[in-house]
Each structure stands twice: as C-alpha cells, then as structure tokens.
Amino acid sequence: MAIFGEKSFRAKQVFEWLWQKNATSFDEMSNLSVLLRQKLNEHYFIDKISLDDQQISSDKTIKCAFSVGDGKVVEGVLIPTATRTTACISTQIGCSLSCAFCATGRLKLMRNLTPGEIVDQVVYLKNQAENRYRTPLTNIVYMGMGEPLLNYKNTLRSIEMITSPEGLGMSPKRITVSTAGIAKMIRKLGDDEVKFNLALSLHAANDKKRSHIMEINDSNNLEELADALRYFHQKTDARITFEYIIFKDFNDKIEDAQELAAFARCVPCKINIIEYNSIDGGEFQQADKSNVDAFAAYIESKNLVVNVRRSRGKDIDAACGQLANKNKAIDQKERILK
C-alpha cells in the first residue's frame, strides 16, 4: 500500500477481504476509504473464477464448470453424503499423464492453475454446501483434473491459504492430495514435512498391468514408488491411502488382491477400492459386484483397512475419472491479481 501513500495495515485488510471474506470487487471492502477503493479499481482487477455451467445429480452431487479467465474451463465437484461433504478440485487444465481409464487424460495439458484459481473452487463449493445443503464443507480432495504434484508450488500454496488462519482456516487433516505416482515429488513432500493426507492412485500392483493403464509407471515403477512412500512416511509419520479402481477382468481377481496386499505392506495405509465409471470409448468395464466383494474380503482378511467406494454423480459425468471438460469455455479475460 506504500505506493498509494497508505499505511501497511491496509494491505492486511485487503488480504482479509480477498482470502477470508472472498470479496469479488474492491467496492465490497467497506473498511477501506472510498479514495483507496477507487485507486485499487484503477490499477488492479480481482481475478476470481466464475461459474460457466452447473449440473446437479440425482444423488445431490454438484458438478461445476468454472471459467478461469483465459477462455479455458476447469471442473470441480461437490459430493455430499450422510457423514461428510467433500469438494473435489482441480489443479491443472487438462492433464499430461494420459491414464487409459480417465477422461481427463484424453485432454492435452493446457496449463497449471494458479493458487487463487484452486482456492476459488473450494470457496464456491463451500458456499454451495452451506447455502444449498445447509452443511459445512468437511473435506477437500485434490482429485479433479490434472496431476497436483506436477503443479507442486501452486498446489502447496493453495493448501497454505486454505489452512491458514488468515485464509479459510481448515485443518490440513481434512485435505487429501492424490497423485498418479511421481516418486521424486513424493519425496519432496516428505522433505517439506507436509501435514495433509497423501493418496496414491495405484490401480494395479504389478508393473506390467500398471504400465498398461498408467504410462507414468514406466518412469516411476512400483519399487521406486514404494521407496518414495517409505521416505514420505518416515518424514511425516502419515498413513498413505491407496486408491484402486477395480476393472472387470483386468484387476479384479484374487491374484490381483494378493499383489495389492503385498504391495500395501510397504507403509501403514488404508485402501479404497473404487467402482469404475465408464467413459466414452473406454476399453474397461465395471467389475461385477461379487468380484468386488470377494476382492475386498481378501484384503480385509490380511488385516488391512479397506473401504469400497461407490460412485456418485455418474449421471452428470462427475464421478471419479469422468471429468472431461465437456462444457464450453467463455471469452478470455485479463488476469491481474491472484
């Protein structure tokens, strides 16, 4: 604020309006003088994302397409259940990893999202939870479009703002970052001693199968990932979540469960078995319920914590792996702040 001849505490006031009160214009900042607000309007623009399209599922899941200000659109999802309300948010527009089962992987990577664009998704979905469903936002998962660890700096900065008392003040234990498995960046998370939860999108526990569906495994194989996860756990003492999408006649047999159980011994963990959600032209199908149940029962018999996650929002293409940015983009806008 020195450039405007204002005292330093004015900067803190602007910061609070942006990150605590989520102001969309300088005119809302009522504890600033009219003259200062005029100067801010003359020199700056608040770069808030805007809602481009919204769909509500029969199970109350809400999928939002957000314009991020340069003619591009990114998606976020609000997932309400009886016990929690979760915001699933994106970190990139598109994705570079091309996982075979994921609709987002068919999009080219266009760019990383800024910290502000990531936080704005959370704010909008938080407001939807509170205003539409009269419930607080309890959890945030970085499981939308993109690979969070390939947008490392902005991802961690967004979490800093979400968890900061000067920001949204949410506990880091309510936040989970999911990665397709980039060993060196998992180690960096350990070096940075992060406090949030880490999930690994595993989906197969032998290298041949995993490389078939996830190209990233060619350069980050299971042995390297296990070493990185052990390092992360040593640094943070955190339990890892293994995400395992189960596909019919691909990774749904007891032999696959045996491989998963063996790999999962590398670190303290819990395992989420996730129902597959079909995508247009995909090669995989949803596994039979009997196979899923037998698979989960075997994992549980090995004294591992396992949960079967049923999909939500499938009727609006909002379920895991279905975010494909089918909504139209809006015109490009200038971005100055955030």
Catalytic residues, which ones?
75, 320
Specify the amino acid at residue 221. N
Contact status, residue 119 vs residue 154, Cβ threshold 8 Å = no
DSSP H helices in the chain? 9-19, 34-43, 115-132, 152-163, 183-191, 207-213, 222-236, 254-263, 289-301
Q: To which residue do tokens 């989906």 refer?
A: 203
Contact residues for 145 (Cβ-Cβ < 8 A; gap 6+): 74, 75, 90, 91, 92, 93, 94, 95, 104, 107, 323, 325
Distance (Å, whole) CA 5 – CA 137: 39
Is residue 73 within a helix (H) or strand (E), and if so which, with residue range? strand 73-80
The residue among 13, 17, 33 whose CA lies nearest residue 25 is 17
Q: Is the dihedral of CA 330, 331, 337, 338 positive or negative?
A: positive
- The overall longest dimension of the chain from CA atoms, in Å, is 70
The strand pair at 111-112 and 139-142 is best described as unpaired
Place of tokens 């350069």: 219
Alpha-carbon span 258 to 182, nearest angstrom: 24
φ and ψ at residue 22, rounded to 5 degrees? 55, 45
Please count the CA atoms within 13 angstroms of the CA of 201 that sit on its side-chain side.
28
Q: How far is CA 269 from the centre of its chain?
A: 19
